[in-house]
Amino acid sequence: MLLFAMYKIFLLVTLFCHTLFAQKSTPETLGDIFLVLLPTSAYVQTLYNEDIEGTQELTYSLVTALSVTYTLKYSVAKERPNAEDTLSFPSGHSSFTFAASTYIWRRYGFHYAFLPYLASCYTAYSRVYAKKHDSVDVIAGSFIGIVAALYFTTSYKKVTLQPLTKSGYEGVVINYTW
């Protein structure tokens, strides 16, 4: 029930935000909306669960992703495909959205992160479509966001169960987090 409610809220906010930015009506606009929507929905999820540790982990993940991204942007100084400036590498939109999506996956499970991952992929696509980045920029940004979230995020549940199937046997892996 909670999962369905979160998907519904996610879709409604996306549609509402898209009408606010209807002047552009391009994939770039939707990518900008996801840039705000994904971290916001992750924070809302931590607040709903009264998950103070998760809020800290999300903050660390996002701040680290942005710090590494902007350090590289100013160090590398790669020109954008549209020649607008020299802040192309890596993509900040990709690092931020993938950090939020990976946090949701790692903290609450993949069933909560499926739509956010789709939105992150679309955001990366929108940056290439808008000629703000090339594919190397968005892949590097995505990698930075994923690594930052993987480093800081732990599972919300103390006990996790995972199915295990290998040739010759099947079973369940039980993990307990102290």
C-alpha torsion angle, residues 120, 147, 45, 114 (rounded to 10)? 40
**Contact call for residues 172 and 126 (beta carbons, < 8 A):** no
The pair of structure tokens assigned to 33 is: 């909306």
**Contact call for residues 104 and 113 (beta carbons, < 8 A):** yes
Give ∠ CA 141-55-31 in degrees, rounded to 5. 35
Could you say which residues of the chain have pLDDT below 70?
1-25, 158-161, 175-178
- Total domains in the chain come to 1
Average pLDDT, the chain: 86
Give pLDDT tens digits for 95-140: 999 999 999 999 988 888 999 999 999 999 999 999 999 999 999 9
**Contact call for residues 154 and 70 (beta carbons, < 8 A):** no
Q: Identity (one letter) of the amino acid at 107? A: R
**Contact call for residues 45 and 55 (beta carbons, < 8 A):** no
Structure confidence at residue 27 (pLDDT): 86
Q: Which domain holds residue 58?
A: 2-176
What pTM value is reported for the model?
0.79
Structure confidence at residue 110 (pLDDT): 87
